[in-house]
Chain A
Amino acid sequence: AQSVTQPDIHITVSEGASLELRCNYSYGATPYLFWYVQSPGQGLQLLLKYFSGDTLVQGIKGFEAEFKRSQSSFNLRKPSVHWSDAAEYFCAVGAVTYKYIFGTGTRLKVLA
């Protein structure tokens, strides 16, 4: 069955530290992969997406993600976290036509 796993429910980092949020997926074909961010009380905003080509993709707000087919992973990274990055992050797979599978989210807390 198709699935997306975000193993970390909560992550706390200090401002200025690097960040990596994990995402693993289970899907038979080449997936369409997304990372979204949700600030408190808001809808989701796209950070970046991978459809094909270069496996390292750059997104907004200084985020990047790397698609690793052998590990079925699409981890999100940022070299230096800002306090405004505190939010909930969702990984998603575009699966059967029109349908997306979302992970359960990782809530990021940033310490000053």
Chain B
Amino acid sequence: DVKVTQSSRYLVKRTGEKVFLECVQDMDHENMFWYRQDPGLGLRLIYFSYDVKMKEKGDIPEGYSVSREKKERFSLILESASTNQTSMYLCASSRQALDEQFFGPGTRLTVL
């Protein structure tokens, strides 16, 4: 069974902390994505990666960075967490561009 896993389901951090969200996929997919999901706004793309060490900005990259050192792992980094980054974060992967995406269960991050 294909799987995308995220390191935490729930996370509570303080303003100014550095936050790492980890995502691992076991499908040997080339492409990986980070989204944030907020009520009434749907899913918004933060960053994506189409190969190891390659990354591209999505629609809302400000305040975030990413790292992809290995094909199966894609990390989202909040350099200095702020309260407006409280959200649900979803990781996804796909085999080819514009193909079906497989999603992880999400990490609900609260920044106090």
Task: For the complex formed, measure the closest distance between the CB of A32 and the CB atoms of chain B, giving whole angstroms.
Answer: 5
Q: Is B34 an interface residue (CB 8 A)?
A: no
Number of residues of chain B lying within 8 A (CB) of chain A = 23
> Interface majority SS on B: helix, strand, loop or mixed?
strand
Residues of chain A in range 75-112 having any CB-CB distance to chain B below 8 Å: 90, 92, 94, 97-100, 102-105
CA distance A100 to B45 in the complex (A): 8
Q: Which residue of A lies closest to B90 (CB)?
A: A43
Tell me, yes or no, whether A28 is within 8 Å of chain B by CB.
no
Which residues from B are CB-within-8-Å of A42? 105-106
Instruction: Give the contacting residue for B31; candidates A43, A92, A98, A105; CB below 8 A.
Output: A98
Q: Nearest-CB distance from B30 to chain A (Å)? A: 10
Interface string of B97-108 (1 = CB under 8 A from A): 110111111100
The tally of residues in A whose CB lies under 8 Å from a CB in B reads 22
Contact at B106–A90, with CB atoms within 8 Å? no
Across the A-B interface, the 7 shortest Cβ-Cβ residue pairs: A43-B103, A94-B98, A104-B42, A102-B43, A44-B103, A102-B42, A32-B98
Residues of chain B touching chain A, judged by Cβ–Cβ distance below 8 Å, are: 4, 31, 40-45, 48, 50, 56, 58, 90, 92, 97-98, 100-106
- Contacts A90-B42, A99-B45, A102-B42: A43 and B100 contacting too (C-beta < 8 A)? no
The chain A residue with its CB closest to the CB of B106 is A43
A103 to B40 CA separation, bound complex (whole angstroms): 9
Question: A98–B99 Cα gap in the complex (Å)?
Answer: 9
Main secondary structure of the interface of A (DSSP, over half): strand
Chain B residue numbers with a CB within 8 Å of A41 are 105-106
Q: Is the CB of A98 within 8 A of B40?
A: no
Partner of A98, one of B48, B100, B103, B105: B48
Residue of B4, B42, B92, B97 near A105 (CB, 8 A) is B42
